[in-house]
A and B are shown apart, each in its own frame.
Chain A
Amino acid sequence: MKLETFIIKRLFLMLIVLFGVSVVVFVVARAIPADPVGAILGGNAPIELVDEMRRRLGLDKPLFDQFLDFMSGVVRGDLGVSIKSNRPVIKDIAEFFPATLELAIVAALISIILGVPLGIFSAVHRNKLVDHFCRVFSILGVSMPVFWTGLLLLILFYYRLGWLPGSGRVGIFTVMPPKVTGLLLLDSLLAGDFGAFKDALSHIILPAVVLGYSATASIARIMRSSMLDVLRQDFIRTAKAKGIGRRLVIYRHALRNALIPVVTVIGLTFGSLLEGAVLTETIFGWPGLGRYIVNSLLLLDYPAIMGGTLFVAVVYSLVNLVVDIIYAALDPRMRV
C-alpha cells in the first residue's frame, strides 16, 4: 500500500475512534453519581432555580437529545460553557493547553535526544562500562516516581542551590511576549525577547527534566534491547558480508529496524507525558491543562470535564496517528 492511502485510511479510523470516545465521555459524565446542579447551587436552592439551571444545562431534555446536542457541539468545536469560569470550555482549553503542550514537547525532546543515543551506545558497547552506567540510569528512571524526583530536584536546585526557579512558567516581573503560539519559548523567540526566553527556559527545565527522565529511561531501555535484537538478525550478517563496514551496518541496516519499536514507545511516552503532566504541573505550579482538569473534577464542572477529556483524547489520537505514519514510513511491512 502507498503511504498516502495508508494515511487516509488511518484518518478515517481516527474519526471512528473519536466518535467512540465522545460516546464514552458523554455516558461516563452522565453516570457520575453526583448532581452537577446541586453542586453548583448547593443543596438548599429553590426548586425554580434548580429547574432553570437544568434547562440552561440542557439536562431537562431526553438523554438521547442531550447526546445529539453534545455531539453537534463537538462537531462544531463547541464544548459548552464552563460552569466555574462561565466561559466557553474551548477558550479555557486554549488558555491552558499550550503550557502543557510546551512542557510535554520539551520533556519529549529531552527524552528522545538523550534516550535514543544512550540506548544505541549501550547496545553497541554491550557489557562494557558505558552499558552498565546506562542500565543503572535507566532502571532508576523507570522506577523512581515523578513526585519523588520532582521534590528531590526542587530541594536541590531551588531551595538549596537557588539556581532555578521553583514554580510557574515565568517570573512575576517578566513581561510576557505577545501570544502567537501560546508556547512561551517560541513566542519569546518570535518577539526577539531573549530575556523572556531565558526566563521561560529556566522555569521549564526542572519540570521538563522530571517529566522527561522516566521517558528517557524507557526509551533508552527499549532502544538498547531492540538494537541488540536486530544485531542478531540474519540480514545483519548479510550486511557484514557485503563489506560495507561497521558504521553502515549499525547506522543504516540495524538502526532503522531497531527504531521501529522505539517509535511506538516514543508515542506512548508522549501520551504518558500528557498524563504525567498532571502530577508535574501540581508539583511545579505549572498552569496547564492537567491542573485545569483536576480542578474541574473537584468542582464537578461537567462541561469542562467532558471538554477537557475529549480534547486530551483528540491529542492522544493525533499523536498516535503521527506515530503510525512514522512507523509505516520506517517499516514497509506495516502498510496493510
Chain B
Amino acid sequence: MSRLLDVENLRVIFHTYRGTIKALNGIRLWLNEEERLGIVGETGCGKSVSALSVMRLIEAPGEIIDGQILFEGNDILKLSEEDMDRHIRGKRMSMIFQEPISALNPVFKVGFQIAETIAHCNDISIGDAYKLVPESLEMVGLDWKRSIDLYPHELSGGMAQRVMIAMALAIKPKLLIADEPTSALDVTIQAQILQLLDELVKIGKNAVILITHDLGVASEFCDRITVMYAGNVIEISNSEEIFDEPLHPYTKGLISSIPIIGASRELTGIPGSVPDLVSPPSGCRFHPRCDFCFDRCRTEPPTLSEISPGHFVACHLYSDGVKEG
C-alpha cells in the first residue's frame, strides 16, 4: 500500500497574550491509502491542531513554524492558498467536525451546502451539482425529499452529522478527517454515526483520520492508533497491540481508565492535569504525572523510537536497552 500522508517534525504555535502556546512540538504522523488512523489523547493535547494543519487551516494567532506535510508525495506546506483550494481542500481531503449543527451555515439550506461542495470539487455549476445532492443524502440514510430544503436549525445533531458526512464524502476524498465526529451526540446516535462512517468509508475506500478522546472507539474503528500528549506523539501502534501491550505509561493510564461495562471497577484515571503549553514541563512533558519518572526524564525529551515492528514509543524507559514495564 502506498503512503498517502507523511507528517514530519510538525511544529505549531499560537501567539497569545499569555505567551506562546507550543501546541505541536514536532509531531510525526503517517497514513497509507485506505488506512484508518486514530488520534487519541486528552482535551488540549493537539489533536484538532494536527488535523487542521493537515488541511492547512491554521490561522492567526496560530502559525506552522516547522516541519513538512507530504500528501501524495508533495509538501503541501509549500503550496499557495490558491493551490490548496484548487487541488487539495474539498478536492482530495475533506473534514467533519465535532459540533455538526454549528459547522453548517445557518442561512443556507442543506441541499445548497452539499451542492456547493460538489460544485467546487467537480468544477461544475451549483445548479448541476444540485442534481447529485439527492444521491448524497440517501447515501447517509436521509430521505432526500424531506431533508434537502431544511435549514441546519431544523436538524437534530445526528441528522446534521449525517449531512456533514454526506458533504465530506460527496467529493470522494482520498483522505477524510473526522475530528471527534460523535463527541457531541447522544450515545445511541454515536454508534449509528460510527457504523455509517464505517460502511461508507469501506465502500469509498477513503483513508481516514479519526480523532477521539476515546481509545476504545478509536481501536475499534481504526487500523492504527497514535497517542498524543501535550503536543507530542508519544506512542504509535496497531489497534490490537495498543490494548494488549501498551508501552508508554500515559497509554497504560488511559487504558486502565476505560470503564469496563458490567464490571464495577473504579476509574483509576491519571492523577494530575494536562500541562500548560505556554511553559510545558522540561524533558519528558509527562514527567510530573509519571510513576516511573527518573532523572533523565526531567532534562531530556524522549524521542519516538521503534521498539517492535510498527510499534513506536517516546519514553526513556525503552531507550538504551532498558525495556520493562
Which A residues lie within 8 Å of B167 (CB)?
Answer: 242
Which A residues lie within 8 Å of B117 (CB)?
Answer: 242
User: With A243-B90, A332-B153 given, is the CB distance from A237 to B57 under 8 Å?
Assistant: yes
Minimum CB–CB distance for B176 against chain A, Å: 11
Partner of B81, one of A239, A244, A246, A330: A246
Asked if B289 is at the interface (CB within 8 A of a chain A CB), the reply is no
Asked if B95 is at the interface (CB within 8 A of a chain A CB), the reply is yes
Docked Cα-Cα span, A257 to B94, in Å, equals 23
Docked Cα-Cα span, A241 to B97, in Å, equals 11
- Pairwise interchain contact B95-A241, C-beta atoms closer than 8 A: yes
Chain A, Cβ-Cβ closest to B120: A244
Minimum CB–CB distance for A254 against chain B, Å: 9
Most chain B CB within 10 A, of A238, A245, A330, A332, is at: A238
Asked if A253 is at the interface (CB within 8 A of a chain B CB), the reply is yes
Which B residues lie within 8 Å of A243 (CB)?
Answer: 84-86, 88-91, 120-121
Q: How many residues of A contact B (CB 8 A)?
A: 21
Give the A-B contact count at a CB cut-off of 8 A: 67
- Pairwise interchain contact B85-A244, C-beta atoms closer than 8 A: yes
Minimum CB–CB distance for B303 against chain A, Å: 32
Asked if B102 is at the interface (CB within 8 A of a chain A CB), the reply is yes
Which B residues lie within 8 Å of A234 (CB)?
Answer: 97, 99, 102-103
Q: Within residues 280 to 336 of chain A, which ones have a CB less than 8 A from any CB in chain B?
A: 330-333
Partner of B106, one of A241, A244, A246, A332: A332
Minimum CB–CB distance for A4 against chain B, Å: 16
Asked if B267 is at the interface (CB within 8 A of a chain A CB), the reply is no
Docked Cα-Cα span, A233 to B97, in Å, equals 12
Most chain A CB within 10 A, of B82, B116, B164, is at: B116
Q: Within residues 156 to 214 of chain B, which ones have a CB less than 8 A from any CB in chain A?
A: 164, 167
Docked Cα-Cα span, A257 to B106, in Å, equals 8
Q: B77-117 CB contact bits vs A (8 Å, 1 = yes)?
A: 00001101110111100110101001111110000000011
The 4 closest A-B pairs by CB, nearest first: A243-B90, A243-B89, A234-B102, A332-B151
Q: List 16 A-B contacts (CB under 8 A).
A: A233-B102, A234-B102, A235-B102, A238-B104, A238-B105, A242-B116, A243-B84, A243-B85, A243-B121, A244-B120, A245-B85, A257-B107, A260-B107, A330-B107, A332-B106, A332-B151
